[in-house]
Amino acid sequence: MNLFSNYSNRELNIWGELILNIVVCFYFFNGVFQLMPGSDEYAADLAEIIIGVVVIAVVYSIVVFGLINIITKAEAKDEMDRIIDVRSDKMGYIAMSVFVTLIMCFIILTESRGSVASIGISEMTPIFIAQLLLMTLVASSTVKSLSRLYNYRKVM
């Protein structure tokens, strides 16, 4: 396994987390955007997509993170790792705050105008708001992982 010999356990785990974010995001939003809102099967189809996301995440985590921990030796966290974690948590928090603020502005604009015709959204349903919040969580997690990876590579 010389392919992974240049990467530490921590860095491979960060890459694994980023790939998991992308896979889950693609699977969930690809499935959700293909659903027909207001149809009788919408709730059942959405539940099926959510169950699929959970299964993918669990299986991926067991296989990928298990292999990473078998292939590479885990290192104990030192002070620099804690500093990197704090910085990346801060970036993830800032990203989440910005996205939630944008969602609130979007909701206020939509309610005050009645619709946002430029992007084709006529009403803010609870399901749509929940999807926006899920996008926010995925985006902030991705920002956090990218920040960790950047800071980790910058230190090395």
Same domain, 105 and 140: yes
Q: Is 73 in a helix, a strand, or coil?
A: coil
Q: What is the mean pLDDT of the chain?
A: 84
Looking at 49, 75, 101, the residue that finishes a domain is: 75
Q: How confident is the model at residue 111 (pLDDT cuts 50, 70, 90)?
A: confident
What pLDDT, on a 0 to 100 scale, did the predictor assign at position 90? 95
Same domain, 83 and 154: yes
Same domain, 55 and 45: yes
Same domain, 88 and 64: no
Rounded to whole angstroms, the Cα distance separating 29 from 22 reads 11
Torsion of Cα atoms, 141 then 94 then 119 then 123, to 10°:
90
Same domain, 87 and 136: yes
**Proportion of the chain above pLDDT 90, given as a percent:** 35
Looking at 30, 53, 75, the residue that finishes a domain is: 75
Same domain, 36 and 92: no
Burial of 36 (0-12, 13-18, 19+ CB in 10 A): exposed
Same domain, 119 and 87: yes
Query: How many domains, in total, are found in the chain?
Result: 2
What's the domain range around 32?
1-75
Same domain, 64 and 39: yes
Is the pLDDT reported for residue 12 higher than 80?
yes
Report helix angle 42-60 to 9-33, nearest 10. Answer: 170
